[in-house]
Amino acid sequence: MRLDLLRVPVLRLLLSRPALALFRGLTLFIFLYALAWGFLVPSRELNLFTTAVFWSLFWPFFMVTTLATVGNVFCTLCPLGFLGRNLPSLRLRPPRFLKNPYLGLVLFNVIAYWFVLYTFPGFWRDPFRTALFFGFFLLLSLTVNALFRGMTFCKYLCPIGTVNSAFNRVGMLWLATNREACNSCKKPVCALSCPYELNPSTFDPKNTNAWCTYCLDCARSCEDVKFELRSYSHSLFKPIRKPFAWEVWVYVVLLGAITFGMRYHHALGHTQLGQFMPWTLLGNFVREKLGTPEWVDPVGFFAFVMALLTAFGLLFLSLKLAKRVSGLDERTLFLHLGYAFAPLMIIGALAHVSEFFFLHYYHNIVNGFAQAFGLSLRVEPLAERGDAWLHVFRVFPFLAGFWSLYILKKRVELLSVPNRTQLFAAASVLPVYYLLLSAVATVAGLFFRLPHGH
C-alpha cells in the first residue's frame, strides 16, 4: 500500500506550510505557557497544568500513540525543532564528540529521566522541577542549534530525538521521491533545502529515513517529493543497506529501562508476588540496612538495574546462540536481526498509555488547562481502576511480541543461511521472554493483585 498524502487535497492543505506553522505555533505556545506556569506557580495543588502538559499530553500519550501507529509526527510538531529551523544559526560544523546519538539517549533519557523516575519516584511530579527540566532543554536547543548546522540538538542531544527516529520504522509514514525524476536530477534541491542535511532521494534505496522529522521543507522545494502512507512497519521487512547500531540499541535499552522495568516494579511489584521478587528483596534489605529516606526507592532502583541487565543478558545470549547455528558474526546478526525488536516497547506501551488515558491523562489534561486558563470546568476520570473493560488494553503487549516474531522470521529469511529455523529460534530469545513476562504480569495482575495495587 502506498498513498501519497500530498496528492490528497484535504491532507495537502493540512500539510501546507501555513497549516503546519499554525500547528507548531500552537504547540510552542502551550510549551512556553506550561514552562512559565511551572516557574510562577510551583505548587502542585495550584498548578496541574505544567505536569499535565509534559507528563500526560506530550510525553508519553501523544508520542507513544503516534509513534506506534503512524510514525514520527511528534518531531513534526515539536516546538524546539520549530524554533531551531526558523531562528538564525552560525552554521558551524559540530565537533565530533557532539555527533553521537547515544548522548541524548543515555544521558538525558535513560539517566536523567528513567533512572530518576525509578529511584526518586516523586521528583518529576513537581511543576517547578518539571519546568526546570524542559527549560534546560529549551535553552540547550536554542544554544546548540544557533551555533551548529544540521539541527545538531535534535539529532544527537534531544532525549527523544534518537528514540523517535528509531521507532519511526514501526509506523506507516515514509518520505520518498520519484525515482525517475531523481535519476535525471542535476541539482538535488530536496537535499539542499533539508535543515537536517539529509537527502530524501536516498531514503528508499537505503531503506532508511533516520533523523527525518517530516518537516516537509523538501516537499516545498521539489514536487517530486512524496509523503506516503505505506503498509505497517514496511521498512522492517526489507534489507537495510546501511543499518545503524544506535537504532537497535534504542530498541533494546528502552525495552529494558521501560518495559521490563515497569513490569518488574509496577506490574509484578503491586501484586502478591511482588514481595518475593529479587529487586524487592534486595531493595528492602538496602532500605533496612542503610535507612534510606522515604523519597528514595531502593526497590525501584534495583528493578531498573535488573531490567536493563535482563535485556542486555538476553541479547548477549541470543547473539551467541545465533552465531553458533548460523556461522555469522555477532555484529552482522545484531544489525540485521535486531530491527525485529522495534515493536516490543513502543507497541506494548500502548497498553499503558491507553489505560492511563482513561484513569489519569484525560482529567489531568482537561483540569490542568481549565486551571491555567481560568475556565470553570472540572472533569472526573473516565474510568476507575478495577473496571473490567480496561483489561482489553492488555492485548497490546501480546500484539507487540507476536509482531516482533513475525518480523524476525521475515528478516531471517533475508539471510543466506541453511538452518533458518534454528536461527529463528536462537534469535527469538528476547521477544519470547517479553511475551512470557507479559503473560505472567497479566495473570498476576488479574488474580494476585494487592487491594491497593497500582
**Which parts of the chain sit beneath pLDDT 50?**
453-454
143, 166, 189: which is the final residue of a domain?
166
Nearest alpha-carbon partner for 369 in 360, 378, 382: 378
Q: Cα(first)–Cα(last) distance of the chain, in Å?
A: 41
Buried-exposed string 271-306: b where 16+ CB fall within 10 A, e elsewhere: bebbeebebbebbeebbeeeeeeeeebbbbbbbbbb
| Whether residues 403 and 279 fall in one domain | yes
Phi/psi of residue 100, nearest 5 degrees: -135, 110
Q: List, for residues 408-430, the tens digit of each pLDDT value.
A: 999 999 999 999 999 999 999 99
Within-domain flag for 212: no
Within-domain flag for 236: no
124, 147, 166: which is the final residue of a domain?
166
Within-domain flag for 95: yes
| Whether residues 322 and 432 fall in one domain | yes
Q: Are 157 and 140 in contact (CB under 8 A)?
A: yes
Q: What is the pLDDT, as a whole number, of residue 452?
A: 58
- For residue 397, how many other CB atoms are within 10 A of its CB? 27
Q: How many domains does the chain have?
A: 2
Within-domain flag for 80: yes
| Whether residues 250 and 148 fall in one domain | no
Q: What is the pLDDT, as a whole number, of residue 279?
A: 98
Within-domain flag for 187: no
Q: Are 48 and 370 in contact (CB under 8 A)?
A: no
Range of the domain at 28: 2-166
Nearest alpha-carbon partner for 307 in 449, 122, 166, 110: 110
- Angle at CA 411, nearest 5°, toward 433 and 418? 100
- For residue 244, how many other CB atoms are within 10 A of its CB? 18
134, 166, 198: which is the final residue of a domain?
166
| Whether residues 298 and 389 fall in one domain | yes
Within-domain flag for 413: yes
| Whether residues 255 and 370 fall in one domain | yes
| Whether residues 250 and 162 fall in one domain | no
Q: Quote the CA–CA distance of 245 and 339 in Å, as a whole number.
A: 10
Within-domain flag for 120: yes
| Whether residues 158 and 276 fall in one domain | no
3-state secondary structure 14-40: HCCHHHHHHHHHHHHHHHHHHHHHHHH
Within-domain flag for 350: yes
| Whether residues 117 and 256 fall in one domain | no
Q: List, for residues 110-146, the tens digit of each pLDDT value.
A: 999 999 999 999 999 999 999 999 999 999 999 999 9
Q: What is the pLDDT, as a whole number, of residue 295?
A: 94
